[in-house]
Amino acid sequence: MESASALDDLIQQLQSPKIILTRPKIDKNLEIPPEALEILREVLLVGAAKGNDKWWEKDIQEHTVAASVHIDKLYKGGGSRHLNHAFTRLMMAAVIQHRNNLKQDDFS
């Protein structure tokens, strides 16, 4: 039951104070909507339940290609699930890029 353990680990990480966003005093219109964080959380939990809980070890291009597949499916009538998954995949790619201090041209 390895995926249950991975899911428990992910839930614990998501609840960890380490990932709580600190909010600098900025205009309310610039804050991250809580719904966006909930969408990311839900999609990450779905992935973890399927055993895909180490997204940060993957290639940026893998995430961007997967995002474009979801966008294509969305436009072909696939439903909002694909929008949520594309959003999450792009977040994953952006986080990996940020962590590695990569410029956009470095992975094209």
Q: 3-class SS at 41?
A: helix
Q: What is the mean pLDDT of residues 47-63?
A: 92
pLDDT band of 9, cuts 50, 70, 90: low
Residue 36 exposure: Cα atoms within 13 Å on the Cβ side: 8
The CA–CA distances, whole Å, from 28 to 23, 33, 39, 49 equal 10, 10, 20, 34
b/e per residue, 26-62, with b = 16+ CB within 10 A?
eeeeeeeeeeeeebbeebbeebbeeeebebeeeebee
Candidates 107, 86, 85; CA nearest to 96 is 107
pLDDT of residue 82: 96
pLDDT band of 7, cuts 50, 70, 90: low
Mean pLDDT of the chain: 82
Tell me, yes or no, if the pTM score tops 0.75: no
pLDDT band of 30, cuts 50, 70, 90: confident
Beta strands in the chain (DSSP E): none
Q: Between 25 and 57, whose confidence is greater?
A: 57
pLDDT band of 103, cuts 50, 70, 90: low
